[in-house]
Structure 1
Amino acid sequence: MTFSPWQLFVDLGLAAVLLLVGQLLRSRVRAIQWMFLPASVIGGFIGLGLGPNGADVLMMSAAFSAYPGILIALIFAALPFASEHVGFRALSARLTDLWAFSSTAILIQWSVGILFTALVLQTVWEGLSPGFGALIAAGFVGGHGTAAAMGETFGDLGWPEAGSLAMTAATVGILSSIVGGMIWVKWGSRCGHAEFVTRFDDLPEALRTGLVKEDSRESVGDETVSSSSVDTLALHFCLISAAALAGYFLSRGSGWLFPQYKIPVFCLAYVAAVVAHRVFRATRIIGYIDRRTMTHIGGALTDVLVVFGIASIRPAILVEYAAPLASLFAVGIASCCFLFRCLGPRFFRAYWFERSLFTWGWITGVTAMGIALLRIVDPRNDSAALDDFGVAYLFIAPIEIGLVALAPQMLMSGHSWALAGATLVCAMLLIVARGRRLLPPHHSCAPAQVPD
């Protein structure tokens, strides 16, 4: 099929229909509600089953699998504009708990995946790509957005199967997030660690069905310019697109200057957006950029990306890599269990179960999964985990984005041991510092106490 602008229109229309069907099923099917599956994931699965890699009844173009690589550049370009400006002074002891634990989780996922691949998987299955070990971090702590970014980068570096494998890892991560999370909830309730557990039927309807009642709705943003000149949404989307376009040309320039190392578009789009954000702050233009609007544009782009990403997974590749992939996922889930059960009580001075469960949700799935699990065990937000995460993530993001940008090139150029060693040492330093109270002090596994 020859690609044309109308085929692009059809692809976007199909993604929209799949999203709508996903939301309809989320709002109606109780089993799906219990799993807290986002509409984008549901729609992606339907697209996978009905698309070219399944029943082949949808008129998807061959470019369907290329869209995530473009969308991720736009998503990364939105991040600096969607983030609240917070200085290092905001890192109180409580925030440091969450920052240290989350950073340790990221570093352990990278180091464990790479080491397990180098020591075991590449020994058993010869010819396995050195980038295979990055799939845990790409899919679990990264999610579908990071999976798309790293899949594209690995593809440019000579590993075309990476995209489907990374998307699969992200999907398995989401399923592990909620299934494993519910197991932890039952365990915590039985052992006395979870004192505020809420029944599923008592959760807010918006959390279960995805539909927000009229009296609970909030504004998605503020109008910062007059529609007589330009629509507010158009202005904000143009800013994101301009930063992404700058990233594209910078990436092409880097490939021309350094043929052996082409910096990914999404990485330079993020850099361009950071520079633009700083300039706007210095010139006070930032007052006309609404953070909530940028957040929702980024969220909308992510929903579309997930549909495209899951629908473009190639099952034949999964069959080929089934055994090493299953082994890697088992080790990845085991490492997350170790983080939750063994390190969680040591990192958090209070509410260790609630804060660890929230972290479990987002380091295996997405932030929305962490929120869903947190609402089950902490409906009154006594732990303040979500509030703290909003600030702490501003200091977690540089670690995550830096690894996503640098790791593929290092792995594919033969520096697996250096990367694994560096991430493992950094993780151990955080753990040791936690034990020696250079970070906030040790907290036992005793049940969380309600403050007076």
Structure 2
Amino acid sequence: MSIFDLTIDLGLISALLLIGVFLRARFRFIQKFFIPASMIAGFIGLALGPNGFGWLPFSEAIADYPTILIAVIFGAIPIGAAQVNWKKTFQRVRNMWVYSMLLTLLMWGGGAMITLLVLMQIWDIPSGFGLILGAGFLGGHGTAAAIGEALGNMGWEQATALGYTSATIGLLCAIVGGLFIVKRYARKNQTNFISDFKDLPDDLRTGLVKTEDRESTGSGTVSPNTVDPLFFHLALIGVVVVISYYLQDTLQNLFPQVSVPLLSLAFIVGLFIQIFLRKSKANRYVDKTTINRISGTATDLTVAFGIASINLAVVASYIGPLIALFIFGVLWAYAIFHFISPRVFHQHWFENGIFGWGWSTGTVAMGIALLKVVDPKNEATTLDDYALGYIAMVPIEVLIITFGPLLLMTGLGFIYVLVLLGVAVMLLIIAAKAGWLVNEAQVTKRRKAS
């Protein structure tokens, strides 16, 4: 691969993303389902690229880009994060953390469970197949790349293509299923701030923000006479990724049988760099909004490259178990939303729950899009609570992604399932005993009110 291959790949995907922005702004059908430009770009790339008609000269490396991009996303999480006083904020974000943890444990554990107990009894598939659900639905294209890399190192090279497929189907389920849920529960009077589609602001529908509604996407914290502020923040993320890469390479040489995902190391390295920045007082020159924009760019590229690189032949060879896994995943995610959300959240259970549906089947961006439909004025504290609770949830997610492939591919799949589902049950019991959950009388009252 040459620098010209990289240039062509980025140029082509950039053109497709711009086409996606144009189509989203022009066509009401696309607006109605909140289809992001990155997803449109990915589908066009899939149809016209090497896995389709072969008209776009993408290089063979497009399937590998998400592995690096997810390291950017996870490495950016700790950088510039505000120091949180957990004693003051714990009670407010506690239930969102509980719900996020349950979603994480149940989606990863549920996929592995149905594979070991049912799918492997019908089809000849690897034991790691169950990770495809969590990687795609809950994690997205970046996590699918990380899981695919780990499983590929253990001999199952088709895992990445299946993971990208799962993430793509998950996006569709998040959008279509989410809008169906919103309409259904609005008729049952379970929403608090519901808005009809025709009443949504134009920027949410078209993706184009009017002049009077525009917000700053970052602040200049260093003088351009020294270095451009955007590059300064890019350099911070670049240091995280390159250290993580060499650390992964070193660990791979020392322990050839163990595959540590790059995203896991990126998060850990990001934590240490953030501690250094805070201790040296340099943290004041890090603008979190700019860091988030870099992470958002990496997310869009991850989705676009991930969809464009799906190997349709591989998908076709696993079509039976994939369909079964996706049907289970949708029903499982809906059960979590329907039965757990009303019992975890004391206020705005539907708004919190529909956000959870969006990111547990698609992406956080899909969760935000659905939340905007039911809470257009941001009257609930969903996003603030999630942002704080997510910090305490990431280490668990990193552990699952790191050790899940190893356990499942070495015959310890049932231990993996028992641990995840067991922890989920224990968390529910602890929350109930501590009085964190909504009691059954209140849940029944909510149901009767509908």
TM-score in terms of structure 1 length: 0.95
Rate the CA distance shift 1:447–1:34 in 2: closer, same or farther, 3 A: farther
Aligned residue for 1:71? Answer: 69
* 1:380 alignment partner, SS class: coil
* 2:64 alignment partner, SS class: helix
* 2:209 alignment partner, SS class: coil
Aligned-pair distance for 1:147?
A: 1.4
Aligned residue for 1:111? Answer: 109
Contact kept, 8 Å, 2:150 with 2:259, in 1: the verdict is no
Q: Does 1:435 align with 2:432?
A: yes
Aligned residue for 1:99? Answer: 97
309, 316, 327: which is aligned to 1:312? Answer: 309
Contact kept, 8 Å, 1:93 with 1:440, in 2: the verdict is no
Q: Does 1:169 align with 2:141?
A: no
Counterpart-to-counterpart distance in 2, 1:136 and 1:58: 30
Q: Does 1:424 align with 2:417?
A: no
226, 230, 233: which is aligned to 1:233? Answer: 230
| 1:63-121 Cα distance to aligned partner (Å, 9 max, x none) | 12121112222222222115333232244434211111111111111111111111111
Aligned residue for 1:123? Answer: 121
Aligned residue for 2:346? Answer: 349
Counterpart-to-counterpart distance in 2, 1:226 and 1:94: 38
* 2:78 alignment partner, SS class: helix
Q: Does 1:268 align with 2:291?
A: no
81, 87, 98: which is aligned to 1:89? Answer: 87
Contact kept, 8 Å, 2:174 with 2:359, in 1: the verdict is yes
Counterpart-to-counterpart distance in 2, 1:42 and 1:445: 42
**Structure 1 segment 49-448 matched on structure 2, within 5 A:** 49-126=47-124, 128-442=125-439, 443-444=442-443, 446-447=445-446
Contact kept, 8 Å, 1:135 with 1:166, in 2: the verdict is yes
| 1:296-349 Cα distance to aligned partner (Å, 9 max, x none) | 011111111211111000111111111100101111111111111111111111
| 1:399-439 Cα distance to aligned partner (Å, 9 max, x none) | 22221122112222221111100000011112223333442
Q: Which amino acid aligns with 1:444?
A: V
Contiguous gaps of at least 5 residues in structure 2: none
Q: CA RMSD in A?
A: 1.7
Rate the CA distance shift 1:137–1:83 in 2: closer, same or farther, 3 A: farther
Aligned-pair distance for 1:20?
A: 0.6
Aligned-pair distance for 1:252?
A: 1.0
Contact kept, 8 Å, 2:258 with 2:406, in 1: the verdict is yes
Contact kept, 8 Å, 1:96 with 1:440, in 2: the verdict is no
Counterpart-to-counterpart distance in 1, 2:361 and 2:54: 31
Rate the CA distance shift 1:366–1:445 in 2: closer, same or farther, 3 A: farther
* 1:444 alignment partner, SS class: helix
Aligned residue for 1:13? Answer: 11
Contact kept, 8 Å, 1:81 with 1:277, in 2: the verdict is yes
Counterpart-to-counterpart distance in 1, 2:198 and 2:413: 47
Contiguous gaps of at least 5 residues in structure 1: none
Counterpart-to-counterpart distance in 1, 2:377 and 2:215: 19
Q: Which amino acid aligns with 2:74?
A: F
| 1:363-392 Cα distance to aligned partner (Å, 9 max, x none) | 111112112212222223333212221212
Aligned-pair distance for 1:445?
A: 5.1
Q: Which amino acid aligns with 1:49?
A: A
* 2:157 alignment partner, SS class: coil
Counterpart-to-counterpart distance in 1, 2:106 and 2:115: 14
Larger mean Cα displacement after TM superposition, 377-386 or 300-309: 377-386
Q: Which amino acid aligns with 1:267?
A: S
Counterpart-to-counterpart distance in 2, 1:82 and 1:131: 35
Counterpart-to-counterpart distance in 1, 2:219 and 2:59: 37
TM-score in terms of structure 2 length: 0.95
Rate the CA distance shift 1:21–1:72 in 2: closer, same or farther, 3 A: same
Counterpart-to-counterpart distance in 2, 1:440 and 1:367: 24
Contact kept, 8 Å, 1:252 with 1:262, in 2: the verdict is no
Aligned-pair distance for 1:290?
A: 1.1
Rate the CA distance shift 1:94–1:289 in 2: closer, same or farther, 3 A: closer
* 1:171 alignment partner, SS class: helix
* 1:221 alignment partner, SS class: coil
Aligned-pair distance for 1:238?
A: 1.1
Contact kept, 8 Å, 1:82 with 1:295, in 2: the verdict is no
Q: Which amino acid aligns with 1:317?
A: V
Aligned residue for 1:23? Answer: 21
Counterpart-to-counterpart distance in 2, 1:139 and 1:196: 30
Aligned residue for 1:44? Answer: 42
Larger mean Cα displacement after TM superposition, 267-276 or 114-123: 267-276
Counterpart-to-counterpart distance in 1, 2:327 and 2:169: 11
Aligned-pair distance for 1:196?
A: 2.6
Aligned-pair distance for 1:279?
A: 0.8
Q: Which amino acid aligns with 2:443?
A: S
Counterpart-to-counterpart distance in 1, 2:289 and 2:40: 26
Counterpart-to-counterpart distance in 2, 1:114 and 1:420: 6
Identity across matched positions, percent: 41
Counterpart-to-counterpart distance in 2, 1:162 and 1:445: 43
Rate the CA distance shift 1:290–1:122 in 2: closer, same or farther, 3 A: same
Counterpart-to-counterpart distance in 1, 2:380 and 2:389: 14
